[in-house]
Amino acid sequence: MTGSNPGVGAGQPNPDADSGRAAVAADAAAQPVMPEASPRSAGLLERLNRWLDRDHLPDPAALRALYEATLTDSAANRLARQWAERYLAADADERRSLLAGLVHAGIGLESHADLSSRLFRRLYAESDQLALMVELRADMLRWRNQVAGLSALEQALAVLLSNWFDVGMLELHHINWDSPASLLEKLIQYEAVHEIRSWDDMRRRVAADRRCYAFFHPRMSNVPLIFVEVALTEQMAADVQVLIDPGRPLADLGKARWAIFYSISNTQRGLRGISFGNFLLKRVIEELLSELPKLKSFATLSPMPGFADWLGKRSGAEIQEYLADKTERQTAAQDPEAGARWVDRLRAATPGAGAESVRRTGLRLAAHYLQQLRGEDPVDPVARFHLGNGARIERLNWSADRSAKGLEQSCGLMVNYLYEPDQLDENRARLAAGKPRVSRGVQWL
């Protein structure tokens, strides 16, 4: 894969077409190395230039050349460069209109998927910006329900991005306090799990007893595509506030036996559905074992971002068997709003130890939720990722995330997923059979 021009070729000029010669001459004056274009291409180029001069949207008839012309057609390639330049400079409303124009230009084309692929390969080659293609898909995902026909284009681009971002092309970098400030700023910007609140916070997260690794693409070398934050500890962690406390003393690496993955953040919405997070964790485990061979265990301390929403929609009849108190089970049986009431109770109890029956009920409900499947996939998005990678549900932690976000999404509860390299395949097979792997401690709640 390359972002350079795939080739510049010549059309076959018509000596009887004065307008074609004029257009080619004008183009040659601006770019003397460009070969002559066909009359049809020259006409399209003239219409494009009028569009740019008047600041109007492009004529779909002109844009059709982006699909149909060969990748060596000089006029179509220049059109692609100008379209890309305008798109990059456009605001959201204009971008949506420009995408709608591409959709309209492709209506009725045979072999639409193949020609859509040609369109995006042309735009990539002529703009020489892989980041533009990622932006395009992010915008398509944003507006695909508003612009009829945009989904088909989005799917064609997703296929190309899957190839362009093949994991074999990605580079793993260790990020620390000596990394460029611009890169550290991006981590602050893109951190999606536990907000980085200050530079002191950032410094602590890349300190000597921590590790941060990111995948980069060589054509987007200044942008981390996905990154993971790791704490090196003596025990499996149960409280994220402790892990992310900027004032926490440095741990003794000589005593570290656990690597805790406590935050994994994707940074590019345009790469949604293109999975390389599992490869990131595998590479990071290899790196950590190479550097610190005394490490024995690898686990996460993960949020359950869908738990509160899921529980809030459950009736008393649905959750009755998981309530720890007999009287409460009887009361909930006829209460259609019981789930929502339990969300409020768990949130109120989380900042402290909470009554034993409330705490036990919360852990039971969370264990049940994490094992819920939609088809073959876990309902919870984080569980979907880790269980799909072969981890198992190891332990549930009460009052583990007391931040506003943690209380809002998961009533303060968090879960440890355990990664045992020799069990990953078996665990994936169990998940495919509809039985996610769960530790005995969770089973006995």
- Total-model pTM: 0.83
425: number of Cβ within 10 Å:
10
If DSSP codes are grouped into helix, strand and coil, which group holds residue 302? strand
Per DSSP, the residues of 1-53 read --SS----B-----TT-HHHHHHHHHHHHH-TTSPP--HHHHHHHHHHHHHHH
Token pair in block for residue 297: 């265990």
> Alpha helices of 55-149 — where are they, by DSSP H?
60-68, 74-89, 92-105, 112-127, 130-143
Predicted pLDDT of residue 278: 83
Predicted pLDDT of residue 248: 92
Active-site position among 127, 194, 386, 399? 386
Give me the amino acid identity at 444.
Answer: W
Q: Say if CB 266 and CB 192 are below 8 A apart.
A: yes
For the chain, list the domains and their CATH numbers: 18-164 (1.20.140.90), 168-300 (3.40.630.180), 307-443 (3.40.630.150)
Positions in the chain whose pLDDT score sits under 70: 1-55, 352-354
Token pair in block for residue 354: 């909470």
Comparing CA positions, the residue from 282, 200, 274 lying closest to residue 244 is 200
Predicted pLDDT of residue 31: 39
Could you report how far apart the first and last alpha carbons of the chain are, in Å?
A: 52
Reported as a single tens digit per residue, the pLDDT across 366-380 is 999 999 999 889 999
386 is catalytic: yes
Token pair in block for residue 133: 């293609």
151 is catalytic: no
State which H helix or E strand residue 393 sits in.
strand 392-397
| CA–CA–CA angle 302, 305, 309 (5° rounding) | 150
| CA–CA–CA angle 299, 303, 305 (5° rounding) | 145
- Rounded distance, CA 342 to CA 352, Å? 16
Active-site position among 74, 127, 302, 399? 302
Reported as a single tens digit per residue, the pLDDT across 67-102 is 999 999 999 999 999 999 999 999 999 999 999 999
Comparing CA positions, the residue from 235, 238, 249 lying closest to residue 296 is 235
- Rounded distance, CA 354 to CA 362, Å? 10
Comparing CA positions, the residue from 171, 258, 255, 259 lying closest to residue 211 is 259
